[in-house]
A = this chain, B = another copy of it.
């Protein structure tokens, strides 16, 4: 059955999914790059950059690859696509990832501002959804055609889906950095009450990978 999954979501050891003062120049926030060190070293990431000979194998790579396996569509919050709040600043903005984004499937972007679908190279089409998270999920699941839907973030969007009871699984990578402030994944969300338990725990020298599932058998 098609599930909604958060995958490869990196947080600091104090629970922040992005650092403070995010901006166009610093989309991950201050110190936020350190969250993704484990991912930057993987073969999966290096393949995205075009040279997989540079990447490493091992548990970090296994989780990176799992994050793209059996994914038929993505859902992104507004800020995962564009740099500012408010109306689209410029229709020429095509997201953070250049002409050929790493999704290769339909991507549903939550926003209050309508925009025509944006077809990119390599199979990625951005659809802009203005009628809410449940609509986005229904469209994404239909497009995924039995495969899973990956929820890319950010934290505010994950919170919305968590509180609505719509997330089935979360793979988090806890990185050995302190951010101190920013967007806390755990603030205001009671994962235990929502039914989540840790079902997998794979520590590496770069990050501690945990998989949380809702109401595991």
List chain A positions with a Cβ less than 8 A from chain B: 13-15, 31, 172, 174, 176-181, 184-187, 190-194, 196-198, 201, 203-205, 208, 210, 212
Contacts and interface: CB of A to CB of B under 8 A. Distances in A.
Nearest to A199: B176
Contact of A178 (B179, B184, B196, B208): B196
A212 B133 CA distance: 38
Contacts of A196: 178, 180
A163 to B, nearest CB: 13
A21 to B, nearest CB: 12
A208 to B, nearest CB: 4
A194 B208 contact: no
A107 to B, nearest CB: 28
Contacts of A31: 192
Chain A interface, DSSP helix/strand/loop, else mixed: loop
10 contacts: A14-B191, A15-B15, A15-B186, A174-B208, A176-B208, A176-B210, A178-B191, A180-B190, A180-B196, A201-B205
Nearest to A16: B186
A168 to B, nearest CB: 15
Contact of A194 (B172, B180, B186): B180
A48 to B, nearest CB: 26
A184 B16 CA distance: 13
B174 A192 contact: no
Nearest to A200: B176
Given A176-B208, A184-B187, A203-B203, 14 more contacts: A13-B208, A13-B210, A178-B197, A178-B198, A178-B212, A179-B192, A180-B190, A180-B196, A181-B190, A181-B192, A184-B186, A201-B205, A203-B204, A203-B208
